[in-house]
Structure formats: structure tokens, C-alpha cells
Amino acid sequence: MTMKQRLIRIGIALGIILTVIIVFSVWDTTPTWKTADGAYAVTFVDYDGTVLKTIDCTAGEVCTITAPAKPDNKDNGYFTRWNLWESQWSEIDGNVTIKAVYTLDNRLAVIGGREIMFYSVFIMAGIMLALVFGLKEAKRTGLNKDDLIDGFLWIVPIAILGSRLWYVAFEWESFAYGGVWDTILHILGFSTGGDGAQFVGLSGLAIHGAFVFAAVSVTIYCRIRKISVWKVIDLVAVGFVFAQTFGRWGNFLNQEAHGGVIFDYVNGPLSSTQLEAQWSFLRNTLGIPEFIANNMYIIAGTHGSAVEPITAYYHPTFLYELMLNWVGFGVALVLRRLKGIRIGELMPFYLVWYGAVRIFIESMRTDPLVYDLFGLELQAATTTSVLMILGAVTLDLLIRFKWKTGSYGDIPGAFDFNEFRKKAKEPVQP
């Protein structure tokens, strides 16, 4: 087995293992205690173990437990709750430590005052692993690896630029900044125009823009290099759905791209009982791991009053989309091995799959890109997804009945269901 094959298998395995652990994890930080015979203490501590308050109690007597003031001592994170809900305090009859729970830090590191965000790390990790997968497939499908790497170096920056421009197009009022040059700087990620410009990062990317720019760039590149557009475009499709599963983790840590308030509460502030019910729905009803449920507690107005109208727990739509994308990636891996699938049909599959997934997710999100058309407010992602699905059907019909691009059955490693059925029906030799 080559090093590239090992990297691909390790990357896919880590992604699957991480997702399975995250989704089905039973890890819990709820504290436990042993019933005391005499005196016992209830201790409230901060995230780093600093004691905030200690309450001395006596077994057999009612112990009045009141929490200290909400701490705010963690850099780039805010207090969400105590790891033992207030409704459970009356059950305490032994020594117990109740710890403050904060939101997660969305930074990987801070070097020289410059923040390295998990969002960018996850995106680049997804892109690089998609490239490794593409290089493996290139050998099987007869593509030149050098052509693939050269194209990658050109197309990825164009795709990132496309994702940025797509987002800017639907949020233009947020980027128009003084003169033309200042506006360009703002689009490129600078906080202010002129000599005082400081780069703060590309906050605001749209996957549909990345896809459109990448698809056009791939087509042009393949024409210039005289290589199969359909083989490459299939690699791009599988790579996209794979890379997207990584990017959504960045959205999670940024507390963005989420859904609405759990139970559709509209009036705040919510009581401790209401917050506990929301958290319990995520953790116990949906089975979502505790650290995800905790990080879905979002303070009102974090990304705008319309996006987070009240301080509450919100639906983790990033996770719903991530899991559906993993399923789509698995289906694509199977399709590329079937004899009945034509070269080029993985792209229509991706367009239909992700288009349908995104329409479903957009129905729950509170921060969609919108635009006005003839007085109607439409969601950009939903409109684009509908066009993707319609385009996919048209493209697939052309591939099937007009262009006849060839079959994956002609590529080594294909699986033939008909041959499998024939062998299954053959009598077993004694």
C-alpha cells in the first residue's frame, strides 16, 4: 500500500470515527456523588477549577443551594450553564463539585497576536484530503496526476474567491465601504479602508459560489490541457461533498449556520426550566453529544437580532447537513464502482443530493442569504439549489442519451450487479 493510499484511508477513517463518536457519544460531564452520613459540601468551580463558592450542608437536613454569580473568566468563550441543572440540586445529599460550562473557543491558536481560526483549518483539511482522494482516483481512471495537481493549484484559489464573491453579491450593503478601493479592501477581508486597513479574515463564504466558479474553471482547464472534463468533474463532485463535511465543523465552532430556537420560544429571557428542556431535547431526545449541545447555547444578537432573537439553545443544522453529506459521500463512493453508472454522472448526483440537502437545511436556518425579486424575498441558497437540481436532471439526460461519455464499468475495479446475481444463482459445488 502506497503512502497516498494510507493517507486517504486514514483521512476517511478519522472523519468517520470522529463523526460517529460525536453523534453517538455517551460521554457526560454531569457530576455524581455518594450519600454522606454527616456533613458534606457543595462546591461551585470555574472551568479551570477555581473555587467560586462552597456551601456546607448536613445530612438529613434541608440544604439551601444558591449558585454564585455567573462567571465570565474564559477567553473567547462565555458561560452557558452549570453542569448540574438547578432542578437537580434538591437531590444532592453528598459531596459534589458543580462546574461552570462555557462555549468552545473557535481559535486553534494565537501566534504573534494573529488568530488561527478552526474554521480555516477545517476548510483546508477538507480540501487537502479531497485532493489526496482525487489523486488516488486519478490513477484508477487514467488521469495524469500532474494535470490534477496543476489544476488544483489554479482552481482552489478561484473557488475560494468565488465563494467570497457569491456571498458579497447577496450582502452588498454590508461590504460597500467608502470609495471603490476601500470597498475592494473590505471584500478582501480588511476591516477598514485606506492606510489603516487591517486584515481580519474572510468572514462570509458561500459554498454555491465556490462550486460554480470551480465547475467553470475545471471545464476551461480541461479544455486547455485536453483531458477528460467528465472524469475530472466527477472527482470535483466527490471532493466537494467530502470537503463540506469538514467545513461545517468550523461553522459549529463559530456558532453560525444554525437553525431556529429549540421549541420555537420567542419571548426571552428564558427560565432555567425552559433552558434545561431545550438542552435535554438536544442531549437526550436527539442523542447529540454534550459538547455540541452546550455550544448551541447562543447569546441573543451574536450575529444579529434576526438570527438570534433570544438567548437560548438553537438547532445544530450544521450537524444535520454534515451527516447527510457523509451519507452522500458514501453513496458516491459506491456509484463510482458500478458498471451501470456513466462517467460524468457523479456530478449530477452531487447536484441533486446537495441541492435537496440544502433546501431542507435552509428551511430551518435563521441566517440565509436573501434577495428581492419582483417584490418577493427569496433565499439565495434555496433558489440556487433548485437550479442545481434542474440542471442536474438535464445534464444527466444529455450524458445518458446524447454525449455517451463512457461507463465506469470500463474502469478497473467496477462492480457488476448482474454478474453478482448470476454467480449467486450458481449451484454450490460439493
Average pLDDT over the chain, rounded to an integer: 87
Burial class (CB in 10 A: 0-12, 13-18, 19+), 255: buried
The yes-or-no verdict on residue 12 having pLDDT over 70 is no
Rg (CA), the chain: 26
CB atoms under 10 Å from CB of 423, counted, come to 9
Report yes or no on 17 lying in a domain: no
pLDDT tens readout for residues 376-427: 888 888 999 999 999 999 999 999 999 888 898 888 877 776 665 666 566 6
354 in the same domain as 241:
yes
Question: What's the confidence (pLDDT) of residue 318?
Answer: 93
109 in a structural domain: no
Mean pLDDT in residue range 25-48: 82
- Cell numbers found for residue 142: 487514467
Q: Which domain holds residue 277?
A: 262-315
Side-chain half-sphere of 61: how many Cα atoms within 13 Å? 10
Q: What is this structure's pTM? A: 0.84
Question: Residue 54 corresponds to which amino acid?
Answer: T
Same domain, 309 and 324: no
Number of structural domains the chain divides into: 3
Question: Do 410 and 307 share a structural domain?
Answer: no
Q: Does some domain include residue 154?
A: yes
Q: Comparing C-alpha atoms, which of 239, 12, 244 is closest to residue 148?
A: 239
Q: Does pLDDT of 26 surpass 50?
A: no
- Domain assignment of residue 31, yes or no: no
Is residue 237 located within the same domain as residue 336? yes
Answer whether residue 54 is part of any domain: yes
In the chain, % of residues over pLDDT 90: 59
Q: Is the peptide bond before 269 cis (omega within 30 degrees of 0)?
A: yes
Q: Is position 58 within any domain?
A: yes
| Backbone region of residue 226 per phi and psi (left: phi > 0; alpha: psi in -120 to 50; beta: other values) | left
Distances (CA, A) of 202 to 96, 120, 130, 154: 45, 9, 22, 19
Do 67 and 149 lie in one domain? The reply is no
* pLDDT bracket for residue 192 (50, 70, 90): low
Residue 33 lies in a domain: no
d(CA 31, CA 33): 7
Residues 296 and 216 in one domain: no
DSSP for residue 402: I
Whether the pLDDT of residue 52 is over 60: the answer is yes
Q: What is the rounded CA–CA span in Å between residue 33 and residue 46?
A: 19
